[in-house]
Amino acid sequence: KAGVTQTPRYLIKTRGQQVTLSCSPISGHRSVSWYQQTPGQGLQFLFEYFSETQRNKGNFPGRFSGRQFSNSRSEMNVSTLELGDSALYLCASSWGGAGRTDTQYFGPGTRLTVL
Amino acid sequence: AQSVAQPEDQVNVAEGNPLTVKCTYSVSGNPYLFWYVQYPNRGLQFLLKYITGDNLVKGSYGFEAEFNKSQTSFHLKKPSALVSDSALYFCAVRDGDSGYSTLTFGKGTMLLVSP
């Protein structure tokens, strides 16, 4: 079974631009979560989607948004990029049906560099 | 609010020796606990989880973890370390009694296994 895929793997943008990252979950998984990983802050939760509905949201500004499609694929968008948005963005998928006991499986991440 | 502490930024161990990576947690409800490993330029790989039952949980690649409710700890262990175990290890917690609670990660512990 194929794992979680994320595209693109690397991205370079300049301040003020916007970016869209894509995540395809493991087949059969209906829940997708997004995390931002930086050396200083570690792994921080962005949001979680289940069956096209946002189920949880972390403490990030409104510039960070996401959505999930009917095939469970998810995208996250960051508008008006800032230097501090440079990070590894990780997507994780889980079945969604087991709720809190679900295991999240991570993709390889998208490395975003903002210049 | 839930939190995870990994008190050691780095753990050094010689190949063949036992290893322990420490994790303590804070959560208001029942803790659901997870360990992940991250290799350079890769996403997180799931190692093991504790939901309920036996306090000693066995996982992938020979790793195991011991849940201790009174000490609110979930230390990761392996009887004999390999050089290939060198990586960044993350402990995570979710509140088992709180609806669609999110997964909160510790800052990570770098494990270095010397030949």
CATH number of B3-114: 2.60.40.10
Tell me: the pLDDT tens digits for A3-38?
Answer: 999 999 999 999 999 999 999 999 999 999 999 999
- Which of B46, B51, B102 shows the shortest C-beta gap to A45? B102
Three-point CA angle B105, B107, B87, nearest 5°: 100
Taking the alpha carbons at both ends of chain A, their separation in whole angstroms is: 37
Chain A to chain B Cβ contacts (< 8 Å) = 56
A22-36, A96-110, B27-41: range with lowest mean pLDDT: A96-110
Say if the Cβ atoms of B100 and A56 lie within 8 Å.
yes
Tell me: the pLDDT tens digits for B80-97?
Answer: 999 999 999 999 999 888
Domain coordinates in residue numbering, chain B: 3-114
Tell me: the pLDDT tens digits for A65-89?
Answer: 999 999 999 999 999 999 999 999 9
* pLDDT computed for residue A98 by the predictor: 65
Residue A99 confidence (pLDDT) above 70: no
Query: From CA A32, how far away is CA A73, in angstroms rounded?
Result: 8
> What's the maximum distance between 2 C-alpha atoms anywhere in chain B?
46
What is the least distance, in Å, from the CA of A109 to any CA of chain B?
A: 6
Residue closest to A34 by CA, chosen among A19, A16, A49, A14: A49
Chain A residues with beta carbon closer than 8 angstroms to that of B98: 100
Query: CA A89: distance to chain centroid?
Result: 6
